Structure 1
Amino acid sequence: MSGPLNGIRIADMTMNVLGPYGSQILGDMGADIIKIEPPEGDTLRGIGPCRHKGMGPYFLNLNRNKRSLALDLKKPEGKAVLDRILETVDVLIFSFRPKAMARLGLSYEEVAARNSRIIYCGASGFGQNGPYADRPAYDDLIQAAVGLPALQARKTDEPVYVAAAIADRVVGMALSSAVGMALYHREKTGRGQAIEIPMFETMTEFVMGDHLYGATFEPPLSRPGYVRMINPERRPYRTRDGHIGVLVYNDKHWRRFFELIDRPDMAADPRYTSIAGRTEHIEYLYGFLAETFATKTTREWEELLERADIPAIALATPDDLLNDPHLDAVGFFQTIDHPTEGRIRTMAVPQRWSESQPDIRRPAPTIGEHTREILLEVGFTQDGAESLIEAGIARGRNDRSVARDVEVRGPSHTNCNELISREPSC
């Protein structure tokens, strides 16, 4: 066992991206994550190309270091199993709306009555003390709600979403951080507590930390929006043979850059000698840089800028990252043998600890892979566990099905969405 949270046990009642990303971080840190799924599994299992139904790449990269318990919480017997589990865990994280948790008999007061030391952490779309409390929330909706597409539109003329689940992942990190700090508080005081992580407020702080800008002051000194970040020319620069990312940022960088391109007149121009002056004239400077970088190849600029100690890096694609020499040297991408999916690529924990190094202890689980062992851990007999599975209250690992899947290890794959459209739910 490894990681600073070794010995912490977490019940994870989340699906899709936000919660699973947060719980995966906690699992990487050593916590025992019990992923509680409906019998049909996390909906994310069906996204992307896959070798076997329910084991798509998005799911595989969000659910390592977890054990899967497939449980039907709509049935009283399933709820009774969950109650028994919650008596044994340190943390419950969930992404159900609080009213849905209350309907299940899983409000904080009800859970804390069984386990007073529990950390009860819910990720909701909006703070529950505001008028948006009952609104649905997904990554795209929250991006729109906090103005990210509108800010992008100041650069592109059309509002567009960021090409990543940025809201889900940022809030997932906030969730994992909050759980860690709540555990520290409990260590000092012996008391558990309820925590609410609202997506809208968390992402508003994330975005407006950059873009509150002149509206920081009352009365405002300018409209919101950091002018450098929303300038349409703030982008990787086109070179003679590709693109390069460059940040000529502080006074020293700009002096060296003007020397590098033989423009001493600009180095002495008061409009460009301070960050305040450059910010005021950033639109012209971005255009000037774009014209300048188009005159040489990417590699030529990398060498020149490196010698001048000006930050720069070639524009990479996702394909490039798979063969990046730095990522290769630090062992970031790793190929492992998954019990059912064969050889798969995974990403290492991107941190280094001198003592309790986090690690990957188990790959993402199949649906209900650990149902039997978890039921036994919380006091059910072997016969009792099998009775729950036979009654459809829980779903366990189908050994014959798994054995069949293991034989099909190869490069061929299909799309899980297509499988789901033509096959009945498992």
Structure 2
Amino acid sequence: MISRLLFWVLALLGMIIFVQSDGMVEVFKWKQMDFNNRGEARPLRMPDSSGKSRVIGINQNDNNSAYIPYNNVPMGVTHYRGRLFVTMPRRRVGIPSTLNFIDLKRDGGQSSPKLNAYPNFELNQFSRSAENLVSVYRTTVDACQRLWFIDTGMLEYPDNRQQIKRPSIWVVDLNTDRVLKRFEIPESIVSTGRGMASLTIDIASPKACGEAFAYIPDLVNSRLYVYSLAADRMWSFAHNYFNFDPLAGDLHIGGQTFRWDDGIFSTSLGPIERDGSRPLLFHAMASNNEFAVSNRVLQQEANAARSDHGNDFRILGNRGEHKQSTMHEYDQRTGVVFYAEIQTNGVGCWNSRKPFTPANHGIVAANADTMIYPSDLTIDEDGDIWVMTNSMPIFIYSTLDANTFNFRIWRQKAVEAKRNTICE
């Protein structure tokens, strides 16, 4: 009798573990972020045009604070072969490094691991070189084992934003951690880097690494930029579909009610068409609509100068009420697009083989207490979805409780995430 009871208890435990492993798993959580290298307290300096060093700190705190725990709010998460890249945009003072990683083999067993500067601590010290990193929001990995990201070049300190360097596109070889490319974005394209918070990389095949294109949405200026690696040139598209929806800007997240007007925010390449082209899916954050344009349209610089784009840009449809999204990504294995949804505090989905209607949008995971504000969603080469939730509205409009967990990273297989949803 006892042995039979023990059998059923163990079986029940096994079922519980199985069910939990199929859901979106909380991988890491932090009350406050910490770093293995916090830096030293020193004046913030950078060289001017004459080569002389000048202090660029704006108050006493800037000059005496290398690390302020409360000010460090993570934004982006990307996984590549055992390294988890975590970004920390410089929206406040006291941030040791803007681009970081977690070594999953070494620190994966910890609940709240410290961050390591990437590719090294020195490159993250913006005041020590005219070409060092200033502020990075999100990263992405291409098919050629390279890490891409935008450095906005801006210190977004409240009431005193400073564009201290030109915004730039970076490409890093993940096998050697060597910087392959740093492209300064011309002022003729955009004056500041504040609105460039993400990018999508388009490569026809791993054999065409030198012919990559980067698509960069600008949520502030409502523009879509295209960068050609082969031509080392950049051009800008304008369209009404890049604007925010004034009826979708009122938000209620984490107990905070506010209004945002963020334009085009996220881009993702959709399924491969019969002619080899791919649609670029995109949306504004303050919107429930999704749009698309062929990558072949974007890759022709001459098209950017047109006053009328005809029907090249098209609306896919509406996700439904309160379905505003930060980042989204199409998964080639399942044909499903996964959305980081800020008002539902979770992850939504849409099967690209079905009509784009609210009825065909499902919920993968949602939790108003533990998944407050999903700021990033990426899918790695193994088909794992990675999500960052960072309580950003509370940080901006109220005060984070340093005694509770404010930041989390989640993970789930895309093939499992779609199960038991309308996206199956």
TM-score, normalized by the shorter chain, greater than 0.5: no
Larger relative contact order, structure 1 or 2 (CA cutoff 8 Å, min sep 6): 1
Q: Which TM class, normalised by the smaller chain length?
A: under 0.3
The structure that is strand-richer by fraction is 2
The structure that is helix-richer by fraction is 1
- TM-score, normalising length from structure 1? 0.25
Over alpha carbons, which structure has the higher Rg? 1
